[in-house]
């Protein structure tokens, strides 16, 4: 099923049928595309039968591969240039989230962002800067980009689950603790899950932890999280 939104990518409708009551946006990693993560939808749909899943392709061709997409580039760039790329992609993603919420007629707290690697970086960058808090963030094998800048730009404090393999050769395992410390210091509730011996990947335990977290934050009946 093709996406009708600004960023193209696969969409999975609620398995229970009818209008979506929750929405999960899946943000893939560097060099992949939206087809990579949409395969998680059937697993989590068992816990969220009324949720729609949207997995957009990142807006830019991958600079290091003939196929695949990227949210931002980092080959040969300094930190300032990388951050500029993050900000450019953040504007595109932010508009996309507004569009999908309007299309599904859902409030922000019924939306969750899930990311892998670079998708986690985008989730952690964009969500806390949105005025209306999303329901939650699940981040696998990623990091928080420029945490020192978030304090002056934070708008909301959604709950976060970070999952990371301690044998990750791509994004160091220490990045999980660094992100958790920075986010906690800013008032976000952060849960972490260390996956022993896991490289740059999502394993069944991490998948189950993410699904349980999404079901909890997206189906609770309490009011939307408070603004910053």
**For the chain, what are the domain ranges?**
11-219
**Res 183: pLDDT:** 98
Contacts of 175 (CB under 8 A, 6+ apart): 142, 143, 144, 164
Q: Minimal CA–CA distance to 29: which of 126, 128, 123, 134?
A: 123
For residue 164, give the H/E element and its range.
strand 160-165
DSSP 8-state code for residue 135: S
pLDDT value for 226? 44
Q: From the CA atom positions of the chain, what is the Rg in Å? A: 16
pLDDT tens-place string over residues 50-67 = 999 999 999 999 998 878
On average, the pLDDT of the chain sits at 93
Read off the pLDDT of residues 68-95 as tens digits, 9 standing for 90 and up: 999 999 877 888 899 999 999 999 999 9
**Widest distance between CA atoms in the chain:** 48
What top-level class would CATH report for the domain 11-219? alpha beta
Judge whether 161 and 188 are in contact, CB under 8 Å: no
* pTM tops 0.85: yes
The sign of the CA dihedral 102, 107, 108, 114 is: negative
Residues 154-159, mean pLDDT to the nearest whole number: 98
What is the spatial distance between Cα 126 and Cα 144, in angstroms, rounded to a whole number? 11
């Amino acid at each position: 099923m093709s996406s009708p939104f600004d960023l193209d990518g696969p969409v999975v409708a609620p398995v229970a049928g009818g209008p979506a009551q929750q929405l999960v946006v899946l943000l893939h990693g560097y060099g992949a595309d939206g087809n990579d993560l949409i395969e998680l939808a059937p697993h989590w749909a068992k816990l969220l039968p009324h949720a729609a899943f949207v997995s957009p392709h990142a807006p830019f061709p991958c600079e290091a591969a003939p196929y695949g997409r990227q949210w931002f580039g980092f080959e040969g760039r300094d930190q300032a240039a990388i951050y500029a790329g993050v900000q450019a992609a953040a504007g595109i993603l932010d508009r996309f989230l507004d569009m999908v919420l309007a299309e599904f007629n859902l409030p922000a707290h019924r939306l969750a962002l899930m990311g892998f690697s670079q998708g986690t970086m985008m989730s952690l960058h964009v969500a806390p800067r949105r005025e209306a808090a999303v329901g939650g963030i699940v981040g696998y094998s990623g990091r928080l980009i420029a945490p020192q800048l978030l304090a002056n730009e934070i708008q909301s404090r959604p709950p976060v689950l970070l999952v990371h393999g301690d044998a990750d050769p791509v994004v160091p395992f220490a990045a999980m603790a660094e992100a958790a410390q920075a986010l906690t210091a800013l008032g976000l509730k952060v849960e972490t899950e260390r996956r022993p011996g896991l490289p740059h990947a999502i394993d069944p335990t991490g998948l189950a932890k993410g699904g349980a977290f999404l079901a909890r934050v997206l189906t609770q009946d309490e009011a939307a999280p408070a603004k910053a």
